[in-house]
Structure 1
């Protein structure tokens, strides 16, 4: 059997996009060249790797089994090439981060990493926890940095660092200067919260379950900054990471509300695919995250 890296690249690109034309764009090749590489690989293996449904290709059982190995072989080949060319096998990779991490931690860590390794390029995708987990499952991302929970059997979830959510309001809000706030007071307020599927929302829902008689959700927003602006505009009270509120608290634009009855502590986590090969660059990036 003599399959080539070009054939594996075509197979992996099509598996990610489920479409030959999009895979061709990703690889900067013609559709006929990508289709030919896939056909050659299937002939070498003696088995189709996709179910054909019109122009759409869906991985079949055999394709699902070999995809992790194909991704690993390509990663090792890329690492070998870089080792020969530059003496350093760091390679390029893509990080997926949830919003709080992506906006307040990941960009700083990536900047430090690229300054230390100027030949390396690190991509960053910022989305909610469920989207980052799906990107890891589909081999679209090399590392996931998440705020929420993940229970996928194909993924390893490793603790990273502690974080804390904070309930807050505008400085002119009636609760801002009170020291005797009760759960009943909060149950009477309108809430501006993250959307379902985000790690922040999952922690909030767990923390208030059984402690608030009701939660009047006025808005569900995908971005922390939008929640802060809505709270500043007196639309209600919010709950996001303390990391995202430090500057607003310092300037006095927002005020923390004491809520000792809620457990709003959480952990950030690394997510790694169990079947994905960790290059030297990915390992170094994880070490830098641990040191940050």
Structure 2
């Protein structure tokens, strides 16, 4: 073989930093040594992995094809190194979660995992579905927990647990007593909805399409708690996950409006890059998530782990 792991380290870090000096600093090596490693890698294979634009190095098509395989190989090498040195540590794990999962499941899952494995350096990033998919596809995140569908060609999608959206209103709303609403009634209501780009908004709009319903929201908000407060105050009705509403339904501060004409089911899923090497930490975290949902037919049936 005409390449070394060090050359791949330099290549992946330059791809991240777009600058040799910054990459060298991150790798605790001199700038000339980093330049030499990259030059040797390109010279040995008579190829070019970056386009030079002044001091910036912009990864080209060949570099983009190599990048996920290089990252996976480096992660495997680190796992082998830890095994041979007798280490039992979990290294690091960067998890992304969409807002519903992040706010109502992922934080407790991460805390539970870190109690079991305090040596693992773990980071949780919470954002909407489009953002999490993008971050996983770019290897900025090891693993994503998302709501709804993902069609990205480079990502592996594994269903986790069924989720369901539900239309809801304040107890004093005119529809609250009936506990349900027809399509005609929904058309007449004022709506408080999630923002475009969220999995919740996409599922809701997909449910409306077969019925040719086009609702105009009064407010578009990025957080489910803000939507709940707005609906509680009587500004309108909303539609979010039953998981996010189960405590409010128990308290009676919000009321479910069943809508049998709308298909509001969706999956919660795990996503990771197809080229991603599954570290021990990633495998253990996936197993913990799966164990948590055993026997649950819907996300709001999940019994969350208690944190000591």
Q: TM-score, normalised by structure 2?
A: 0.85
Partner of 1:135: 135
| Greater shift in the superposed pair: 105-114 or 261-270 | 105-114
Partner of 1:69: 69
Q: Tell me, yes or no, if the aligned pair for 2:180 and 2:259 is still in contact at 8 Å.
A: no
Partner of 1:251: 251
| Greater shift in the superposed pair: 75-84 or 167-176 | 75-84
Question: Closer, same or farther in 2 for the Cα pair 1:264/1:38, shift >3 Å?
Answer: same
Measured against aligned partners, the alpha-carbon deviations of 1:99-156 in whole angstroms (never above 9, x if no partner) come to 1111111122222222222211221111111111111211111111110211122111
Q: Tell me, yes or no, if the aligned pair for 1:42 and 1:49 is still in contact at 8 Å.
A: yes
Partner of 2:211: 211
Partner of 2:303: none
Partner of 1:59: 59
Question: Closer, same or farther in 2 for the Cα pair 1:171/1:72, shift >3 Å?
Answer: same
CA RMSD, Structure 1 to Structure 2 (Å): 2.5
Does residue 112 of the first structure (1) align with residue 112 of the second (2)? yes
Q: Give the length in aligned residue pairs.
A: 292
After TM superposition, where is structure 1 displaced by more than 6 Å over at least 4 residues in a row?
28-33
Deviation at 1:58, TM superposition (A): 2.5
Unaligned runs of 5+ in 1: none
Q: Tell me, yes or no, if the aligned pair for 1:83 and 1:89 is still in contact at 8 Å.
A: no
Question: Closer, same or farther in 2 for the Cα pair 1:29/1:189, shift >3 Å?
Answer: farther
Deviation at 1:195, TM superposition (A): 1.6
Secondary structure at 1:209's aligned position in 2?
A: helix
Paired with 2:218 and 2:135, the residues of 1 have a C-alpha distance of 30
Q: Tell me, yes or no, if the aligned pair for 2:155 and 2:272 is still in contact at 8 Å.
A: yes
Question: Closer, same or farther in 2 for the Cα pair 1:179/1:122, shift >3 Å?
Answer: closer
Q: Tell me, yes or no, if the aligned pair for 2:170 and 2:231 is still in contact at 8 Å.
A: yes
Q: Tell me, yes or no, if the aligned pair for 1:16 and 1:138 is still in contact at 8 Å.
A: no
Q: Tell me, yes or no, if the aligned pair for 1:169 and 1:257 is still in contact at 8 Å.
A: yes
Unaligned runs of 5+ in 2: 293-308
Partner of 2:221: 221
